[in-house]
Amino acid sequence: MRFYTRQESDERLSDRERRLPDEGPASYYPAGFPDKAYGYYYSARWIATSLTFRDPALLLITEWGIWPSSENWHLYYKLRHSCGDYRLLDEAPRHLFLGHETEDLATFLQLAMLNGWGGYVLTGANYVNLFFSHDEYINFYADIDENLTLVREEFKTAP
């Protein structure tokens, strides 16, 4: 796992000719967060294991501080420190997870959702990407609408 500044991740995306999913033409499927907090891990783990195809994925945190009473900074920084990075979130808000780090991606994504943060998950396969909002919804994006079939099936019944 690696942490990047905004500039470093922007360069990485530019080098790979990638854009944020909501910046261009794409099909999308809107879904709400689970009704109960215990469902956040299920959704985050499903995203991490089902959409990444064990390729690297980039978690971009773009919104925080909106719901300060719900943010567990202690837990976030303990997780980050366990990965050997001691920078603040605003210094390096981009998180790269390698293919074998899907559980780490699920954990960081769950915590971001619980903290009321927003951002993106960009998958290495670029099959399906997503934006998650501090307003408790997720927009899944795909260049090919058929790629959203599995997402539609999963998130119409997710806990």
Instruction: Give per-residue pLDDT as tens, 37-92.
Output: 899 999 999 999 999 999 999 999 999 999 999 999 999 999 999 999 999 999 99
Which residues have C-beta within 8 Å of that of residue 125, sequence separation ≥ 6? 52, 53, 55
Cα–Cα dist 94/18, whole Å:
15
Place of tokens 């009321």: 116
Tokens representing 153?
A: 């099936």
Is residue 95 predicted with pLDDT exceeding 50?
yes
Ramachandran assignment for 60, one of left (phi > 0), alpha (psi -120 to 50 degrees), beta (any other):
beta
To the nearest 10°, the Cα dihedral for 138, 141, 145, 148? -50
DSSP 33: P
The pLDDT-based confidence of 159 (bands split at 50, 70, 90) is: very low
CA distance to 9, 45, 111, 113, 158, per residue, from 66 (Å): 23, 24, 15, 12, 26
With a threshold of 0.85, does the pTM exceed it? yes
